[in-house]
Structure 1
Amino acid sequence: MSGEKISMPQYAVYGASGCGRGVMPLARTQLRNEGILNDNLVFIDDNAELHDINGHKILSYEEFIKADRTRSHIAIAIADSKIRQRLAERCCIDGLNPWTIIADNAVIMDDVRLDEGCIICPFVTLTSNIRIGKYFHANLYSYVEHDCVIGDYVTFAPGVKCNGNVVIEDHAYIGAGAIIKQGRPGDPLVIGRGAVIGMGAVVTKDVRPRTIVVGNPASLLSKE
C-alpha cells in the first residue's frame, strides 16, 4: 500500500558474555549471506554495562521488543540450559521468533532434523539420521554420529565426540573433549536428563539422570 511503513526484520543474540560474543560472528555471516544488513543485528543483555560490543549495539530485552515482534528473531546464546529454557519460554510468550544459527563451515549430512533455536558452531559435524531437539548448542569441533537422538536444551562444549546410536536426554551437559561410546541399534547408550559429563570424560555406559560423571572410564562423581 502506498505510503505504508514496512518494518524491517530485527535479529538478536541474547547474551553478550563469552558465549554470545562467540555466536555473534556466526549470526552476522549468516545474515550477510541472506542479504540482511548488520544494522538489524544486536545483542540483548539486561545486565550489560556497555552500549555496544564488537560493533553491535546492546539492548535490554524491553528495548528490543518495542519493534515489530512478528519480525523479530532471537538466538539464545546462554550456556546454562535452565536459563536458556526460561528465556526461550519468555520469548515465545512475547511472540518473538526462535532463530537457528548454523556456521557456514558446519557439515550436516543426510536426514538430520534440528528443532528450533539451535546454535551450531564452526567445524561441527552432524552425520546421518539424527534427531535434535530445541535450543541445542554444539560448540566448536563437536560431532554427532549416525542414529543419535538429542533432547531439548542439551549443551555440547567444544570438542565433544558423540558416536552413533546414542540418546541424550533434555538438559544434559557434555563437557569439552568428552567422548561418548557408540551404542547398538535398538540398544542405545543413554545419557539421562540433566546429567553432566565432565571435561575429557570417556563414557562407556549409560549415565543416570541428574548425575555427574568424570574420568576415563567415566564414573560417578556426585548426584544432585
Structure 2
Amino acid sequence: MKNLYIVGAGGFGREVYGWLRDEVALLKDHHFIGFLDDDESALTAFDSEYGVVGSITGFKADENDSFICGIGSVKWKKQLCQPMLASGARFLTLVHPTALIGRGVQLGEGVVICPRVTLTCDIRIGTMTMINCHSSVGHDVSVGDWSTISAHCDLTGGTVLGDEVFLGSGVRILPGKKIGARSTLGAGSVVIRDVPESVSVFGNPARVI
C-alpha cells in the first residue's frame, strides 16, 4: 500500500480530494495521508477530515509515496511541483470515472481529468496538465505540459496549445488554431485566430489585452 498526497490545499486541491474518493480502484492500492501545502493553515476554515501534513517546498519523497497535483495556477503548479519531479517524486494521472476518453488519447504524467470531461480521439495531453469539469477536447488536439484548462471550455479539432497555457472558464477555440506557450485566455473568450506566445487575450473575438 503506497502513501498518497494531494499537492496543494487550495480550492482546486479540495475539489481533487472530492473526486479522488470516487476512484475506488486507485484507493485499493493507495492510502491517502493528506495535503501538502506551504500554508499550514490552508484548511483551517473548512470542515476537512484530512489536514495539511507537510510543506510542498523541501518535501522529501520516498519510493512508497505517490502524489496528485491539486494546484490550478500554471505558475505555482510548475514552480512547486517541478522540483518534486526533478527529485524523483511520482505524480499519478487521475481520470474521473465520469470522463469520456476515446481511442488514441495519450495522457502525460500527473494529468488530472475532472468530471464530465470529453476527450474524443487521437489527442495528446502533456505532463502535469489539468482539464476541469465539462470541458470538451476534439480530435487531433495537442495540449502542452503544465497547462490548465478551466471548466466548460471547448477545444475543437486540430487545436494546438503550447506549454504553460491557461484557459479561463468557457473559452471556445475554433478548429486548427494555435495557442502560444505561456499565454492566458480570459474566461468566455472565443478564439478565431492564432494566439502568440506570452500574451493575454480576452473577448469575442479574442484580442490581446
Same fold (TM over 0.5): yes
Query: Residue 216 of structure 1: CA displacement?
Result: 0.8
Q: Deviations over 1:148-204 (max 9, x none)?
A: 111001111111100000100001111100100012xxxxx1000011111101000
Query: Residue 58 of structure 1: CA displacement?
Result: 1.8
Q: Which ranges in structure 1 are unaligned for 5 or more consecutive residues? A: 1-7, 184-188
Q: Would the alpha carbon gap of residues 158 and 149 (structure 1) be closer, same or farther in structure 2, given more than 3 Å must change?
A: same
Q: Distance in 2 between matches of 1:121 and 1:26?
A: 8
Flag the structure with larger Rg.
Answer: 1
Whether 1:192 and 2:192 are equivalent positions in the alignment is no
Whether 1:87 and 2:80 are equivalent positions in the alignment is yes
Q: Distance in 2 between matches of 1:21 and 1:34?
A: 18
TM-score with structure 2 setting the length = 0.91
1:140 matched to which residue of 2?
Answer: 133
153, 163, 168: which one aligns with 1:160: 153
How many residues were matched structurally? 207
1:55 matched to which residue of 2?
Answer: 49
Whether 1:207 and 2:195 are equivalent positions in the alignment is yes
Whether 1:19 and 2:12 are equivalent positions in the alignment is yes
State the identity %. Answer: 30
1:124/1:140 contact within 8 Å kept: yes
Cα RMSD, aligned residues only:
2.2
Q: Amino acid of the residue matched to residue 59 of structure 1? A: V
Q: Distance in 2 between matches of 1:107 and 1:64?
A: 36
Q: Distance in 2 between matches of 1:35 and 1:212?
A: 39
Q: Distance in 2 between matches of 1:18 and 1:33?
A: 25
35, 40, 45: which one aligns with 2:37: 45
Q: Which ranges in structure 2 are unaligned for 5 or more consecutive residues? A: none
Q: Distance in 2 between matches of 1:63 and 1:137?
A: 21
1:16/1:48 contact within 8 Å kept: no
Q: Distance in 1 between matches of 2:183 and 2:57?
A: 36
2:106/2:123 contact within 8 Å kept: yes
